[in-house]
Amino acid sequence: MNSVPIDVWDLATFDNALLAELNAERDLLRDYDLTDKRQFREPEAADGWVPNKSNPYAGQRNYFIEHTIMPMMEERTIRAWHHTRLTDDETALLKAEGVYSSNLEAIRRRLDVQVSKGVLSTEHADALYAASPFQQPGETRSGKFWMTSYPRATTDDSGVELLFQHWGGEGVYFWLEKHPKLVELVKAIGRPRVIELAGPLRLTNHAYSAALAVVATLVRTLGCKPDWSDFDLYTTSPLGPDAVLKIHTEGEPEYAALARGYPAGFIGRRT
């Protein structure tokens, strides 16, 4: 098992065994991508209807990803990112104890801490707890700790904007539109943070997405323009303090530079 985190977007971080397997099929992977892009453009250039064509490289390429690269990624750890809003005390606790999945018990515990500090009244804490979407039967995000495979810009990325604005995560703020006073309360707690993590893919169900991402990274170096390969991933298992690589806080240089110079070598979405 390879425990050194790799960046799925940076070939320079791939270990030798992974690189060797990818390079062994570089022609196949390049030919698939070039053919895929050409077939996508052909209907746009045609005067009339053009039937869909199958990519002759698809079967071999998909088999390689599913049976060679995906099992390799299951044994690897990637650098991942969690976007949130935390108090200073919560940040210190996270550094000391690691991260845990979000559920009703964790939400109740966090709310009670804010009551004990005089930040929230008991009534407001109870109202936030009662309004949590995790109270709904069949709610699918409870019990999971979510991450992204690519860093996100901290100033203008709509995908993480609400996470930075509201303390407590989606388990607290997600259904508060009809409670403006409660919204303002959670906006006033904590500061925006990005947790930089070592995420073992064996603790997730996302090895296939990671396999697609490293393949895309390789073919990009061959002059191709693969589809954007960022993906969300989650674990239902705790991650110990050794998994917490860094915590970036609003106001710090690296926080402002995320996806815009930090980490070094990262290049965001390209057309």
Which of 164, 204, 181 shows the shortest CA–CA distance to 82?
164
- Mean pLDDT for the stretch of residues 223-246: 95
* Proportion of the chain above pLDDT 90, given as a percent: 81
Phi, psi of 20 (to 5 degrees): -60, -45
- Amino acid letter at 209? S
Q: Please, are residues 228 and 83 in contact by the beta-carbon 8 Å criterion?
A: no
For the record, the structure tokens of 192 come out as 């925006």
SS3 155: coil
Q: Please, are residues 55 and 168 in contact by the beta-carbon 8 Å criterion?
A: no
For the record, the structure tokens of 222 come out as 């061959």
- Mean pLDDT for the stretch of residues 4-27: 97
Phi, psi of 23 (to 5 degrees): -70, -30
- What pLDDT shows up at residue 245? 97
- Whole-prediction pTM: 0.92
For the record, the structure tokens of 228 come out as 């954007």
Judge whether residue 271 has pLDDT over 60: no
Judge whether residue 3 has pLDDT over 90: no
| pLDDT tens string 40-74 | 887 666 666 667 789 999 999 999 999 999 999 99
- Mean pLDDT for the stretch of residues 129-136: 93
Judge whether residue 270 has pLDDT over 60: no
| pLDDT tens string 149-177 | 999 999 889 889 999 999 999 999 887 88
Distance from chain centroid for Cα 151? 8
**Gap between the Cα atoms of 52 and 47, Å rounded:** 15
Give the DSSP letter string of 47-96.
SS-------TTHHHHHHHIIIIIHHHHHTEEEEEEEEEEE-HHHHHHHHH
For the record, the structure tokens of 135 come out as 């109270």
- What pLDDT shows up at residue 174? 84
**Gap between the Cα atoms of 170 and 174, Å rounded:** 5
Higher pLDDT, 269 or 248: 248
